[in-house]
Chain A
Amino acid sequence: MYPFLEALVAALILIGAFFLLVGALGLARLPDMMRRLHGPTKATTLGIGALLIASMVYFAAVRGSFSIHELLITLFLFLTAPVSAHMLAKAHILRARAERDRLPATGTATGWATLDSGHPKGE
C-alpha cells in the first residue's frame, strides 16, 4: 500500500472520528431537546461518511477490489436519519406541552399534523 493512500485513509478516519465526537458532544451539551436533535442528525452523517470512504479506499488498495457496500450504507443512512429525526421531533411536540406554545402558526387553515387530525372542529 502506498504511503499516500495510507495517509489518506488515516486522515479520513480521523476526520470521521472527529465529527462523530462532535455529534455526541452536541447531544450531551446542548440545552434542550430540539437543539440536541441537530448534533446527531448532521455531524454524525459526515463522520460515518468519512469512515465509509476510508473503508472503500482501504479495501480498493489492499484487496484490489472495489467494494460497493459502503455506498449502500451511506444511502440507507441518508434515508433513515431524517425520518428518525422527524419522528423524534413529532413525539416531542406531542408530549411536551411547553413546546406546543412555542410553535409558530401554520399559515394555513389547519394546525400542525401532530396536534391536529385535519378534520374540521367538532367532527
Chain B
Amino acid sequence: MRARLLPHPLLTVLIASVFVLLMNEVTAGVVVLGLVLGLAIPLLTAPFWPGRPRLKAPLTIAAYALLVTWDIVVSNIEVAKLILFRRGETLRSRYVTVPLDLHTPEAIALLAGTITMTPGTVSADLSADGRALLVHCLDTGDPEATVAAIKTRYESRLKRIFE
C-alpha cells in the first residue's frame, strides 16, 4: 500500500522542496501544492525508473558535496592556468580507463558527473557492460596516479553512500 502511493519517497521530498524554492516563499499554499506535485509526479513517472537506490550513509552525502564543491573551485583555477599560460599543443592530454567497483547506475552517473566537474578530467564514455569509465585528462604526467586519485577520492566515498 505504502509502496503504491509513495513509490519514491526521496523524489517526493526533492520535488516538493525544489518547488518551494522555485516559488521563493514558504507559505502553507505553496508547501501543499509542492507536496501534491511531489506525490503526483513520482506516481506518473514510476514506469520509467528501473530501480530505487538506497542511501546507506546520508550524512556522508553532505561531506561529499562539500568536497566536490571545494574541488570544483580548485579545478577551475588549475584549468584557467593551463588555458592562459600553456600552449594547447604542449598539454599532455590523453584518455585513461577507470575500472569501476561501483554497481549502482545512479552512483556511476554521480561519479561520471563528479569527474567532469573536477580537476582536468572529463568523463567521455562508459564501457558497454558498465564496468569501466573512459576519462579524458587535459594534462597529466602520470595516468595511473590520476586513476588512483579518482578511485580513492570519489569512488570509495560513493561506494560508502550507495552500496
Contacts and interface: CB of A to CB of B under 8 A. Distances in A.
Interface in A24-57: 25-26, 29-32, 34-35, 37-39, 41-43, 45-47, 49
Closest 3 CB pairs of A and B: A118-B128, A46-B76, A89-B124
Interface residues of A, number: 51
Residue from A89, A105, A114 with most neighbouring chain B CB atoms (10 Å): A89
B76 A38 contact: no
Given A25-B84, A34-B136, A113 B125 contact: yes
B45 interface: no
Given A38-B120, A105-B97, A111-B127, A19 B76 contact: yes
Interface string B73-97: 1011001100110001101010111
Given A38-B138, A89-B136, A43 B79 contact: yes
Contact of A37 (B117, B128, B136): B136
Contacts of A47: 76
B72 A104 contact: no
A75 B115 CA distance: 16
A22 B89 CA distance: 17
Given A38-B122, A108-B131, A113-B125, A22 B113 contact: no
